Amino acid sequence: MTAETAAKRLGELYEIIEKHNYNYYVLDAPTVEDDEYDALMREVKELETQFPQLVTDYSPTRRVGGAALSTFEKVTHTVQMGSLQDVFSEEELYNFDAAVRKEVTPEYSVEPKIDGLSVSLEYRDGIFVRGSTRGDGFVGEDITENLRTIKSIPLRLSEKLPFLEVRGEVFMPRESFAKLVAMQEENGEQPAKNPRNAAAGSLRQKDSSVTAKRSLDIFIFNIQQIEGKTFTRHSETLDYLRELGFRTVGHVVCGTIDEAVERIRRIGEEKHGYAYDTDGAVIKVDDLAQRDILGSTAKVPKWAVAFKYPPEEKETVLREIEVNVGRTGALTPVAIFDPVQLAGTTVTRASLHNQDIMDRLEIAVGDTIAVRKAGEIIPEIVRVAKHCGNETFRLPERCPVCGHRTSKSEDEAAVRCINPNCPAQLQRGLEHFASRDAMNIEGLGEAVVKLLCDNELVRSAADIYTLNMQDILSLPGFKEKSAGNLLKAIENSKNEQPDRLLFALGIRGIGRRSAELLMKKFGSMDGVMNASEEEILSIDSFGEVLAKNVAEAFDDPQMRELVEKLRENGLKFDYDKAAGSDRFAGLTFVLTGTLPTLKREQTKEMIENMGGKCSGSVSKKTNYVVAGEAAGSKLTKAQELGVTVITEQELLDMING
The pLDDT assigned to 485 comes to 92
The CATH H-level superfamily of 418-580 is 5' to 3' exonuclease, C-terminal subdomain (1.10.150.20)
Q: Rounded to whole angstroms, how far apart are CA atoms 507 and 418?
A: 9
Identify the three-state secondary structure at position 400.
coil
Query: Bridge partners of 118?
Result: 169
Please indicate whether residue 56 or residue 656 has the higher confidence score (pLDDT). Answer: 56
The pLDDT assigned to 270 comes to 87
pLDDT at 131 over 80: yes
CB 464 within 8 A of CB 470: no
CB 167 within 8 A of CB 230: no
Mean pLDDT of 19-36: 71
Mean pLDDT of 293-319: 89
pLDDT, tens digit, 9 for 90 and up, residues 312-340: 788 999 999 999 887 678 899 999 999 98
pLDDT at 375 over 70: no
Identify the three-state secondary structure at position 525.
helix
Residues recognised as catalytic: 113
The pLDDT-based confidence of 281 (bands split at 50, 70, 90) is: very high
pTM above 0.75, yes or no: no
Q: Rounded to whole angstroms, how far apart are CA atoms 657 and 652?
A: 8
Q: Would you say domain 76-308 falls under CATH 1.25.40.10?
A: no
Q: Would you say domain 3-55 falls under CATH 1.10.3720.10?
A: no
The pLDDT assigned to 657 comes to 56
pLDDT at 2 over 80: yes
The pLDDT assigned to 112 comes to 94
pLDDT at 582 over 70: no
The pLDDT assigned to 68 comes to 44
Q: CATH 1.10.287.610 spans which residues of the chain?
A: 3-55
The pLDDT assigned to 386 comes to 94
pLDDT, tens digit, 9 for 90 and up, residues 385-424: 999 999 999 999 999 988 988 888 766 778 888 786 787 7
CA triple 521-406-317, angle to 5 deg: 140
Q: Rounded to whole angstroms, how far apart are CA atoms 449 and 457?
A: 10
pLDDT at 244 over 70: yes
The pLDDT assigned to 64 comes to 60
Q: Rounded to whole angstroms, how far apart are CA atoms 455 and 317?
A: 41
The pLDDT assigned to 4 comes to 84
DSSP annotation of 583:
T
According to CATH, the topology of domain 314-386 is OB fold (Dihydrolipoamide Acetyltransferase, E2P) (2.40.50)
The pLDDT assigned to 344 comes to 64
Please indicate whether residue 28 or residue 33 has the higher confidence score (pLDDT). Answer: 33
- Give the highest mean pLDDT range of 159-173, 364-378, 395-409: 159-173
The residues near 423 (Cβ < 8 Å, ≥ 6 apart) are: 401, 402
pLDDT, tens digit, 9 for 90 and up, residues 38-72: 778 888 888 877 887 887 777 777 666 544 454 67
Please indicate whether residue 541 or residue 17 has the higher confidence score (pLDDT). Answer: 17
pLDDT at 250 over 90: no
Mean pLDDT of 15-31: 74
**Which bin fits 506, alpha (ψ -120 to 50), beta or left (φ > 0)?**
left
The pLDDT-based confidence of 163 (bands split at 50, 70, 90) is: very high
The pLDDT assigned to 556 comes to 87
pLDDT, tens digit, 9 for 90 and up, residues 454-469: 898 998 899 999 999 9
CB 413 within 8 A of CB 190: yes
Range in 67-71, 136-140, 428-432, 611-615 with the lowest mean pLDDT: 67-71
Mean pLDDT of 563-579: 86
Residue range 588-656, CATH number: 3.40.50.10190
Range in 30-44, 227-241, 247-261 with the lowest mean pLDDT: 30-44
Q: CATH 2.40.50.140 spans which residues of the chain?
A: 314-386
Q: CATH 1.10.150.20 spans which residues of the chain?
A: 418-580
The pLDDT assigned to 234 comes to 96
Q: Closest Cα to residue 5, out of 51, 45, 55, 46?
A: 51
Please indicate whether residue 602 or residue 419 has the higher confidence score (pLDDT). Answer: 419
pLDDT at 34 over 80: no
The pLDDT-based confidence of 570 (bands split at 50, 70, 90) is: very high
pLDDT at 377 over 70: no
pLDDT at 89 over 70: yes
Calculate the average pLDDT of the chain. 86
Cα-based distances in Å from 138 to 74, 131, 219, 292, 535: 10, 14, 21, 20, 49
Q: Rounded to whole angstroms, how far apart are CA atoms 247 and 27?
A: 8
The pLDDT assigned to 26 comes to 65
Q: Rounded to whole angstroms, how far apart are CA atoms 543 and 482?
A: 44
